[in-house]
Amino acid sequence: MGSSLRADGGHVQMNLIEQEIDDRPVLMLTPGGLENGGGIGRLVGYVVGAWRDKKLPPMTVIDTRGPKTVLAWPFFMTACLVRILLYAPRRPLLHIHLANGGSTLRKIIIMRFGRLLGLDMIIHLHDPDYGGFYLRLPPWARAVVRAMFLSATKVIVLGEAAKVATTDLLLVPAERVEIVANGVPAPSAVSPPRNSAQPRILFLGYLCRRKGVHDLIEALARPQLRALDWRAVLAGGGAEEDKFAAQAAGAGLGQRIEFPGWVDRAKTQSLLAEADILVLPSYAEGMAMSVLEGMAFGLCVVCTPAGALAEVVEDGASALVVTPGDVEGLAAALAAAITDLELRRRLGRGAREAFLRGYNIADYPERIVAVYRRALAHKSEVAKSVAG
């Protein structure tokens, strides 16, 4: 009888929590908003699209930083705090997207403000090496960052390594940390790999050394690839784009590699639909959106196992996985993908199947709202145990 009553009581409590979540707005706080927020902004943009027309709590996106300029962020930060204050009577849930550096400073301010207002706050950690960033801080700053994490109702991370860093270094209790993989939209149609005499290679992302762009250009310049017929698009822009374009030109690849700069969502979808191979030779990632997008389109993926990508792709089944910095291995993988249509088809099917199993943005809003409900349920249980 006692067990039955406890079970029934838990069921009633969860129903109350679900009703509470449904009645409270969600403020999605993201650096740079949807246009200037890089991979985080792209994810949140996809979430906005998937959230629409579902019976879920109302969600509002608030930019905490603005464009990447020194003078812009204080104005965006002030506007963000004012909007949180205006929402405060409705007890919003703050969903706070976090990276290292200035993002952490801004989120410390926001979370202290939220704590003063008695709001529930979810940290969503995207940084590929937040543990390393944390360990480089002086002891007093580590204490401030740790206090920020401990004040969160729940911490969302992208993979197992990030969860270990959050629990072991930041000392967040394991029951308050959850893994939620990124998601991307499923295209309306997926074409089978083309029997193209000139396969198209696509890189999507901020052009920088961390993402291995220099290694990619060096690999494409190797003799075994120089002898093959292919074209490549390196899209995403960045401060070092001219340097990489010069590297390509110096290697004699200026006519074979295109640098279109930053591309919007429509252009991204067009590039994916035209591509045969998606490549990302990155040294550090949270969970790369471009790899998930390539998988959604059934492309042959060539990537490193950086960050949570090690949990996303399987070498030989859904991707060709190479070691970061291994230019010879990258060149060999690209040569195999370019010359072997059946390999591209098999890996494309494997990538598409893996995408459908766990990375479709259509399922993402319900997964996130379920995290909210578990966070509030855990908070309620803790409050009861303290009171009892």
Tokens read off for 259: 């640098």
296 & 330 share domain: yes
265 & 139 share domain: no
377 & 353 share domain: no
Q: Is 166 domain-assigned?
A: yes
Q: Is 189 domain-assigned?
A: no
Could you tell me the CATH number of the domain that includes residue 158?
3.40.50.2000
171 & 290 share domain: no
373 & 312 share domain: no
Chain centroid to CA 247: how far?
29
Q: Is 195 domain-assigned?
A: no
92 & 142 share domain: yes
Q: Is 27 domain-assigned?
A: yes
Structurally, the chain folds into a number of domains equal to 2
Q: What's the rounded Cα separation, in Å, for the pair 64 and 32?
A: 7
| Residue ranges making up the domain that contains 336 | 200-359
Q: Is 194 domain-assigned?
A: no
Q: What's the rounded Cα separation, in Å, for the pair 177 and 374?
A: 11
Q: Please return the burial class of 317, using the count of CB atoms within 10 Å of its CB with bins 0-12, 13-18 and 19+.
A: middle
Q: Where are the beta strands (DSSP E) in the chain?
A: 26-30, 59-63, 93-98, 120-125, 154-157, 177-179, 200-204, 231-235, 257-261, 277-280, 300-303, 320-321
Per-residue pLDDT of the chain in tens (388 residues, 90 and over written 9): 333 334 455 555 555 556 566 679 999 999 888 866 678 988 999 999 999 878 899 999 999 988 876 678 889 999 999 999 999 999 999 999 999 888 999 999 999 999 999 999 999 999 989 999 999 999 999 999 999 999 999 999 999 999 999 999 999 999 999 999 999 999 987 877 777 789 999 999 999 999 999 999 999 999 999 999 999 999 998 899 999 999 999 999 999 999 999 998 899 999 999 999 999 999 999 999 999 999 999 999 999 999 999 999 999 999 999 999 999 999 999 999 999 999 999 999 999 999 999 999 999 999 999 999 999 987 877 767 666 6
238 & 177 share domain: no
Q: What's the rounded Cα separation, in Å, for the pair 212 and 238?
A: 13
Q: Is 190 domain-assigned?
A: no
Q: What's the rounded Cα separation, in Å, for the pair 87 and 214?
A: 46
355 & 367 share domain: no
Q: What's the rounded Cα separation, in Å, for the pair 91 and 71?
A: 31
Q: Is 191 domain-assigned?
A: no
58 & 176 share domain: yes
24 & 161 share domain: yes
Give the up-direction half-sphere exposure of residue 351: CA atoms within 13 A in the CB hemisphere: 33
161 & 246 share domain: no
240 & 137 share domain: no
Q: Is 188 domain-assigned?
A: no
